[in-house]
Each structure stands twice: as structure tokens, then as C-alpha cells.
Amino acid sequence: MVLDSIRVSELQRAMSCELSFFYSRTRKVEFKSVAMLMGSLVHKCLQDYFQTVLDGGNRADWGVMNSLLEQYFDHDKDGVDFSKVSELQARETAKHYLFTYHQKRCRLLYPLSVERQFKVKVKQGDRELVISGIIDLITTSMNIIDYKTTSSVSSWTQGRADAELQSALYPYLAKTHNLEIAGFEYDVFSGKDLKIYPVEFNMRKVTDAVRFAFRLQDTLENYPESLLSSKSKFVCNCCNWKDECDKRRI
Ligand code: SF4
């Protein structure tokens, strides 16, 4: 497989399990879980909400957010597996997520850019790779905000926030577009809780991630069979491929 570009979220996944990344590029996801629906609804609604604010709309208006949610839910619910959580429960949960965020956070954030994509071409010897990422929100105080939805905020810790890649690569990507970022925060929220984890920029993490990306590029091109034996920090429980994974059958 030729790897000429990779998204930050894909890189994060590949660092946990390279095989999972390989599957995501070569197989079609046949199902959509409720958790996947929640993540995409929250991102779409907050994108439109902050874009409305950026265009001069009323930031206090929960009604705007609520009607966005109804629209997107009806549009995105097809194909979602509602066997464990009913459609009604999922709709209520999404509403709680967004209501919590709207009450506790939205009014304090002044958007400068919303869901903007950044790309940078990196080089190593004669190899090249494009790394890209979509930054959820950059505020006028030059803070990057990355939304994380979860069923349990307590499963998140500062250690986990420090280990995530976005806090290193997003400021790096923004800097290559002449945006000097002042801070980075993960906004982790569920139905009623919100926790904010600030993370300091760490250039070492960027260097390590880029080195890993080139190693992955080499593996996929020259030794794809080694993916089955590679050691990784398994994240099988939340993996889309856990039921059909060849590595788990070995
Ligand atoms: S099920 Fe586990 S080993 Fe298999 S691709 Fe997913 S994370 Fe990797």
C-alpha cells in the first residue's frame, strides 16, 4: 500500500494498532455505532453553532443548537445500530451532551476559526508525506479546543490527555500556516459532565509522531505482512474491526 497522506486522527489510531489503521484504509465500515453517531452529531452541531456566532448570530440561543441537532439526527440516524440504545434514548443523550456544552462552555468561547483543515508536507530523506488535521475550534485568544465525547468523563485523566497526539500536531500544523497558538485544551464531555484538560505543546511528540509516520509508510509499502505480528497497545474493545480481525484469530 502506498501511503502519501495521513490524518492526525489516523496517526493516533495507528500508534495504538497499525493493523487497525490498515483495515480502515482497505475495508469498508459496515456499521455505525451510537458512539460514532454521537461524535459526529456533536462536531456537526458545534461547527454550525460557532459558525453562526462567527457570522454575528446569537450565542445564547439554545434553540439554534437544538434545531441543528434535530436536523442532523434525522439525517444521520440511517444505518446506526440501535439494538443496545434505542433511537429515542440516543436522541436524548445527544441533547444532553450538547445542552451541557452549551450551558457550561459555548458562551465563553469566541471563535476565530471553525473546523478548519490544515495540511503540511513533511520530508525524511527522499520520502514525503502529507499530514493533515481538522481543528475543531480556534478561539480569538489563540487557544485550540478539541471536543471529546465520552460515555464516562471519569475514564479520562490528565495522563490520557497528555498522551493524545492532537495537542502536539495541531499547534504544529497551525504554526505552518502562520498561526501562533497560545494553548490547547481537550473539552471532554458526556450527558452531564464537562472536564477541560489543558496540555502544553511538546515538540518532541511532533518529531516522534513524524518519525512513526515514515516508519508506517515504509512498513505498508514494503512489509505489510508484518502488521499481523507487530506489537501494539491493543485497543480491541473499541475497535471497528474486532469481529473480523486476523490478528485476534492467531
Ligand atoms: S481488533 Fe485489536 S488487534 Fe485487531 S485491528 Fe483492532 S485494535 Fe488491532
| Position 231 pLDDT exceeds 70 | no
Least confident of 26-40, 63-77, 129-143, 210-224: 26-40
CA of 21 to the centre of ligand 1 (A): 9
Query: ∠82-85-90 over CA atoms, to 5°?
Result: 90
Distance (Å) from CA 175 to ligand 1 centroid: 34
Tell me the CA–centroid distance for residue 225 and ligand 1, in Å. 15
- H runs (alpha helix) in the chain: 8-16, 18-26, 34-54, 62-76, 87-104, 158-163, 166-175, 203-222, 246-249
pLDDT digits 0-9 by tens, 73-119: 999 999 999 999 999 999 999 999 999 999 999 989 999 999 999 99
The residues that bridge with 132 in the sheet, in sequence order, are: 7, 119
Q: Does the C-beta of 197 come closer than 6 Å to ligand 1?
A: no
Kindly give the distance from the C-alpha atom of residue 12 to the centroid of ligand 1, in angstroms, as a whole number: 14
Give the C-alpha separation, 16 to 221, whole Å: 19
Q: Is the CB of 27 under 6 A from ligand 1?
A: no
Residue 46, amino acid: L
CA of 152 to the centre of ligand 1 (A): 22
Residue 250 has pLDDT above 70, yes or no: no
Q: Using CA atoms, how far apart are residues 211 and 201, in angstroms rounded to an integer?
A: 18
Rounded CA separation 183/145 (Å): 9
pLDDT at 154 (0 to 100): 86
Average pLDDT over residues 212-232: 89
> Which of 17, 231, 246 maximizes ligand 1 atoms within 8 Å of its Cβ, making it the mutation to test the pocket?
17
Q: What is the Cα–Cα distance from 174 to 102, expressed in whole angstroms? A: 26
Residues, the chain = 250
pLDDT recorded at residue 32: 85
* Position in ligand 1 atom list of the atom nearest CA 19: 5
Sorting pLDDT into bands at 50, 70 and 90, what band is 233? low
Tell me which of 110-124, 136-150, 171-185, 226-240 is least confident: 226-240
Query: What pLDDT is recorded for position 29?
Result: 76
- pLDDT at position 232: 67
Q: Which tens digit of pLDDT belongs to each residue from 65-77? A: 999 999 999 999 9
CB 188 within 8 A of CB 199: no
Q: Residue 131's beta-bridge partner residues?
A: 6, 120
What pLDDT is attached to residue 170?
97
Q: Which of 13, 19, 237 to mutate to test the pocket of ligand 1 (most atoms within 8 A of CB)?
A: 19
**Cβ–ligand 1 contact at 241 (below 6 Å):** yes
pLDDT of residue 222 exceeding 70: yes
Residue 65's Cα: distance from chain center in Å? 21
Ligand 1 atom at minimum distance from 246 CA: 4
What is the reported pLDDT for 28? Answer: 84
Residues 15-30 have a mean pLDDT of 89
Distance 71 CA to ligand 1 centre (A): 34
Per-residue pLDDT tens digits for 150-203? 888 888 999 999 999 999 999 999 999 999 999 999 999 887 889 999 999 999
CA 101 to ligand 1 centroid distance, Å: 32
Whether 7 and 133 have beta carbons less than 8 Å apart is answered as: yes
- Closest-CA residue to 101 (of 9, 187, 201): 187
Answer yes or no: is pLDDT of 228 > 80: yes
What pLDDT, on the 0 to 100 scale, is given for residue 209? Answer: 97
**Domains and their CATH numbers in the chain:** 1-8+110-223 (3.90.320.10), 31-108 (no CATH)
Q: What is the pLDDT of residues 33-46, one digit of tens each?
A: 898 999 999 999 99
Question: DSSP letters along 95-124, please?
Answer: HHHHHHHHHHTGGG--EEEEEEEEEEEEEE
Note the pLDDT of residue 134: 97
More confidently predicted of 249 and 25: 25
Which residue out of 228, 237, 239 has the highest number of ligand 1 atoms within 8 Å of its CB and is therefore the one to mutate? 239
